[in-house]
Amino acid sequence: MIEINNLSVSRDGARILHDVTLNVPPGRLAAIIGPNGAGKSTLLHCMAGLLPPDCGQVLVNSRNIHALSEARRALILSLLTQAQGTIPRLSVQDLVAFGRWPHHRGRPTATDRAITAKALARFDLDQLATRNVETLSGGQRQRAFVAMAYAQSTPWMFLDEPLAALDPKYVRDIMDRLRDMTGDKTGQRSIALVLHDLSVAARYADFCIAMKAGRIIAAGPWRDIVTSDLLSDLYDTPLRVAQLDGVPVVMGL
């Protein structure tokens, strides 16, 4: 469970989040949606403990995330962010193995190696294990980074726009696996992610956090709260939720 109470956050002196109060239940795939500049990414980074709040607090599994050291935080939550700067020249295997670093801090055990191998297999990276991350395609590279976050084995996973600029095939690759994780009987994960493609969100997410101008507009189970009216209001443009062969899609009108 994530409990966010009266959270306000500023970046570069400008207030981005205004008095956000929100509960996110565990075991869900929670999509944060909203127009550009709504503060989605800021909220995710603050939930991950990387941005200090001006006031308010974030409790993840009843622990104040900003009062914990990085080392402890990395055992509770993992983060996939949009990589900046240079892409590391690491093999896929080495990159995924770094997901275990919070657990072993430099002295990997047999368990760490086993979990790394499991993550590689789960994300279909066995064939690419020795390849340099730098030489992968965008979709493969993103899968490797998600596998690293998965190997971290934290109860919560936060992903900031994991699908940016990916082909439909890779979108499905990643979203199918994320959904499987929230449904896992053993080692179930709770996932919160920023999504831009509303049809992808409608298809995969089972919890919705709708944001606009630094505030939460609505939050709840996707089916109960996401309607054509809500989305049209949220994005200031006519949108319609429809069913296509039993799958929800969101269309601009």
Give the binding range for other proteins (CB under 8 A) out of 1-9, 71-79, 118-126, 203-211. 71-79
Spatial separation of the C-alpha atoms in residues 161 and 175, rounded to whole Å: 12
Q: Which is nearer to other proteins, 34 or 99 (CB)?
A: 99
Binding to other proteins by CB under 8 A, coded x per residue (else -) over 140-179, reads ------------x------------x-x------------
Kindly state whether residue 134 participates in binding other proteins, applying the rule CB under 8 A.
Answer: yes
Are the C-beta atoms of residues 54 and 32 closer than 8 Å to each other? no
Are the C-beta atoms of residues 125 and 11 closer than 8 Å to each other? no
Spatial separation of the C-alpha atoms in residues 175 and 160, rounded to whole Å: 13
Kindly state whether residue 189 participates in binding other proteins, applying the rule CB under 8 A.
Answer: no
Kindly state whether residue 98 participates in binding other proteins, applying the rule CB under 8 A.
Answer: yes
Handedness of CA 164, 186, 47, 77 (dihedral sign): negative
Kindly state whether residue 106 participates in binding other proteins, applying the rule CB under 8 A.
Answer: yes
Residues in the chain: 253
Kindly state whether residue 12 participates in binding other proteins, applying the rule CB under 8 A.
Answer: no
Q: Which is nearer to other proteins, 169 or 185 (CB)?
A: 169
Using CB under 8 A, pick the residue from 17, 60, 79, 200 that binds other proteins: 79
Parallel, antiparallel, or unpaired: how do β-strands 247-252 and 77-80 relate?
Answer: unpaired
> Which tokens sit at 245?
């062969």
